Structure 1
Amino acid sequence: MKKKNKRILIVRPDRIGDVVLSTPLPREIKKKFPDGYVAVMVREYAKDVYLNNPFIDEIIIYDANNPFLKTVKTIRKYGFTHALMLLPDERINYLLFFAGIPCRVGVGHKLYQFLAFARYVDRNKYNPLRHEADYSLDLARKIGVDSSDYTPEIYLSEEEKKISEIRRKELLNRKKFLIGINSTSGGSAPNWNAERYRKLIELLLSDDNIRVAVTDLEPPESLSGIDSVVYPNVNSTLRNSIINFSALDLLVSASTGPMHICAALKVKTVSLFCPMTACSPKLWGPLGNYNKIILPEENYCKYKCPGDPKKCEYLDSELVTPERVFEEISGMLNKE
């Protein structure tokens, strides 16, 4: 009797950066099960991360507002044999259970997973601390995928690559380097205030070789309308923004989705980070690109940390000045 090919659903109804860090799973699953069927279930706003991915057979949009039974029927029709739940979620746990997926793997010891007979992987309170993408790959390892390659990737079509090249020339406007500044984040990690980003932009504009692109979808008022600065992502779709990010030489940001997008596109990054476990670059740092992480000195946080990344004083101190970041950028550009 012929063995049934695996039909695997990867579920990541989360933020864009988290979805980017899930992109190694389809690739590594297909390496192990080349005849398998792999689908991802993500929210509408994050689906563009997976467009044109050669290892994905289907993108399923998850809408928490859709009726429960309607969603169960949608999932059931695919005949999945396995489901990997990268984010603990009680509703999704029961959706996959009632969709009749025999093997379901979740994260951690959740009662609702136990009640639905789901398997699980344990993060052991992040000890030892590994990268989120590596933790995510643990779920694939649970079903037989033996891999240590958790480098994220976003794939552009040939047409998108041509658009990126054209857009880069337009944005550069005869300059040599295109530097992105993404000043906003989801608030889960420390970040500069807008005034510090403004100062960095002024320093970058003093270099005749550099064009600055503020890449926020909604730039802060103090960073809007600056002469000689371009704003390619305002009112843009995520996919169009991804193409714009691919045109950059380097992106400066806090730990946020655009940083992960650029890393997955192999664009250089300079990133402001906090060493707290929940924010650590060991857990959330950029992967697969040439990057520089800005962190406090080893003993700074021992005495100064307020215990809340939103109240971090380090990035507002004289230890992480725009001048210091400008020097880091210059050093990275000179290594071209």
Structure 2
Amino acid sequence: MIEDVTLRGDERILITRTDRIGDLVLTTPVFAALKHSFPNLRVDALVSSYASSVLQNNPHIDNLLLYDSDNHKGLHSTVGKNKYDLVILVYPRPRLAWLAFRVGIPIRIGTAFRWYSFLHTHQIHQHRSKVEKHELEYNLELLNPLGLRPGKIFPKIYLSKTETEAADALLRLYNLNQDDLKIIIHPGGGRSSLRWPEEKFGELAALLKQRFSARIIITGDENEKRFSEKVLQFLNQQAVDLTGKLNLRQLAAMISGADLVVTNSTGPLHLAAALGVRTVGLFCPIKTASPVRWGPYGPGHVVLVPPIGSCRCSVEKCRRGNCMDLIKVEDAYQGAELILKEAQAGAKI
């Protein structure tokens, strides 16, 4: 049996999480737990360039390394020169496990049950595909060999005053002010889950606009314009369409000033939760995409799943075509109404 690691408190630690936005947001508690317990650790993060700005301004991270799969030799050199004492492979990938072994990082913490797990000096026995807990909690389990078993730690995004002021200034250009009820509709989504039909997002947005006099803000990346255009049709083009106009930090700043975010299981959902903004999250029933593992972390959110019971489909092949259309607009509206009425009564996360 491998013994737990006793830290001096001044080690150099590398944490790898090289996938997408939401995944990295849900890893921020790992950095926080380490620095809260040992403030003098040097904690670096190896992340994808796509998601790296999630960690901008984060006080628990000393240095960011960007993962470039096409420049493995350069990464090998950088990681080797930094002489890390310990690596935590949050996102398991054989190439990174092999890199950590090759450069001689003495303590390598990762999950068990993979063909390359022999490269890990400390193996955490977890089957994330069983969906027995939240992704954030799976991430924190990787700290167990260090004798750390932190309690509930929420994900957090750190925005600067300049960033939030810039978002406010942008909204003023669209004649939105501080007192307006602002609802962000983000109809797009990644490849790991099915999406609620954009027509239903449009119907919901129209209801919220009518019944709450809400100002609707539509967001998405450049490739999601077709979704936003369909939502706009239900609003007679009367919404603030920021699709393709914001980078990740600007999107986060925009979200921080919203009263509600409605979206699928996607990165902006986790950005909102990490910023203390309540969400209505639309999730598919596929087990690996379950809100048990991937839902917004924290209190006050509403999660909706199609009422179909057990599901053995995959994201690539849904037997019903797309069961997400079984989530009724009225159910989504009732979830939004609950959040907005509590907000109007002064309730906050």
TM-score between both structures, scaled by the size of structure 2: 0.86
Q: Would the alpha carbon gap of residues 120 and 168 (structure 1) be closer, same or farther in structure 2, given more than 3 Å must change?
A: farther
Aligned to 2:52: 47
* Corresponding position: 1:148 with 2:151: yes
* Corresponding position: 1:288 with 2:283: no
Structural mapping, 1:243-254, within 5 Å: 243-254=253-264
State the shift of 1:136 in Å. 0.7
Q: What is the rounded CA distance, in whole Å, between the counterparts of 2:340 and 2:88 in structure 1?
A: 40
Q: Would the alpha carbon gap of residues 111 and 213 (structure 1) be closer, same or farther in structure 2, given more than 3 Å must change?
A: same
Q: Would the alpha carbon gap of residues 172 and 250 (structure 1) be closer, same or farther in structure 2, given more than 3 Å must change?
A: farther
State the shift of 1:56 in Å. 0.6
Aligned to 1:173: 176
Partner residue of 1:301 out of 293, 309, 314 = 309
AA of the residue aligned to 2:132: L
CA contact under 8 A between 1:200 and 1:322: conserved in structure 2?
A: yes
Partner residue of 1:323 out of 320, 327, 330 = 330
CA displacement, residues 143-194 of structure 1 (integer Å, 9 cap, x when unaligned): 2222122311101112223334444555562572111111111132232112
Q: Would the alpha carbon gap of residues 223 and 4 (structure 1) be closer, same or farther in structure 2, given more than 3 Å must change?
A: closer
Aligned to 2:132: 129
AA of the residue aligned to 1:163: A
Q: Any idea what SS the aligned residue of 1:179 has? A: strand
CA contact under 8 A between 1:28 and 1:149: conserved in structure 2?
A: no
State the shift of 1:296 in Å. 4.0
Q: Would the alpha carbon gap of residues 34 and 205 (structure 1) be closer, same or farther in structure 2, given more than 3 Å must change?
A: same
Q: What is the rounded CA distance, in whole Å, between the counterparts of 1:171 and 1:259 in structure 2?
A: 24
Can you give the 5+ residue segments of structure 1 that lack an aligned partner in the other structure?
none
Aligned to 2:100: 96
Can you give the 5+ residue segments of structure 2 that lack an aligned partner in the other structure?
1-7, 344-349
Q: Would the alpha carbon gap of residues 233 and 50 (structure 1) be closer, same or farther in structure 2, given more than 3 Å must change?
A: farther
- What is the total number of aligned residue pairs between the two structures? 327
Aligned to 1:118: 121
Structural mapping, 1:132-211, within 5 Å: 132-171=135-174, 173-174=176-177, 176-207=180-211, 209-211=213-215
Q: Any idea what SS the aligned residue of 2:193 has? A: coil
The list of structure 1 runs, each at least 4 consecutive aligned residues, that deviate by more than 6 angstroms after superposition, is none
* Corresponding position: 1:277 with 2:283: no
State the shift of 1:278 in Å. 1.0
CA contact under 8 A between 2:53 and 2:248: conserved in structure 1?
A: yes
**RMSD of aligned residue pairs (Cα, Å):** 2.3
Partner residue of 1:227 out of 237, 245, 256 = 237
Q: What is the rounded CA distance, in whole Å, between the counterparts of 2:161 and 2:299 in structure 1?
A: 21
CA contact under 8 A between 1:181 and 1:213: conserved in structure 2?
A: yes
